[in-house]
Amino acid sequence: MSDNSGLPDHAEVRFDCTGHATGKMRNDLSVMMKLPFEEGPFEMATDEGSFHGGDATAPPPLALFVAGLTGCIMTQIRAFAKRMGVSLKDLDVETRVIWDWQAKGRIYETAPKSFEIDVLIDSDDDQDKVVDLINAARKGCFIEQTLGRSNTIRHRMKARGGWIDV
């Protein structure tokens, strides 16, 4: 066992999300942590503005993505500061994510261009100790670690004969 609240030294962390199209471009989502323990469901929504024909009744998916990245690193900094004995008097994070967008006829294609995260920490501790905290938080942030690696994303479609890979 580790010293992380009774969790084992190694565990799988799993989240499941179901989405249902409910408006012009609105999607109602239900997210649930399944492993290493159950938490949720967390109900949220996405929508698009007029560019995609939506009503802007909820944030667009990219806003939730950038918020998730920002919140993830902030959470890890705050949690790890306690464990590493680093004082935090104040914490702000400013995140910029830039994508390239290219028209392809009536649709478009995108590609990530840059992820920039500025961390503003007010601490009485030495700079080296704060840098160590940020580096530990980077390694503990699930989203940052996902973005920093090559990933395979599998898509399946429900067909008459069962599931098919797309």
Count how many domains the chain has. 2
> Where are any strands of DSSP class E within 25-165?
27-35, 39-46, 90-104, 107-122, 156-159, 162-165
Rounded (10°) angle between helices 127-140 and 61-84 = 130
Report the C-alpha gap between 109 and 94 in whole angstroms: 26
Asked if residue 158 belongs to a domain, the reply is: no
The pTM is what? 0.87
Which of these, 4, 21, 22, lies nearest to 13 by C-alpha position?
Answer: 4
CA-based R_g, the chain, Å: 19
Indicate if 64 and 98 belong to the same structural domain.
yes
Indicate if 2 and 74 belong to the same structural domain.
no
Indicate if 55 and 82 belong to the same structural domain.
no
Indicate if 89 and 15 belong to the same structural domain.
no
Q: Which domain range does residue 47 map to?
A: 1-59
- Tens digit of pLDDT at every position of the chain (166 positions): 455 566 689 999 999 999 999 989 999 999 999 999 999 999 999 999 998 999 999 999 999 999 999 999 999 999 999 999 999 999 999 999 999 999 999 999 999 999 999 999 999 999 999 999 999 999 999 999 999 999 999 999 999 999 999 9
Q: Are strands 14-21 and 39-46 parallel, antiparallel or unpaired?
A: unpaired
In eight-state DSSP terms, residue 127 is: H
Indicate if 46 and 72 belong to the same structural domain.
no
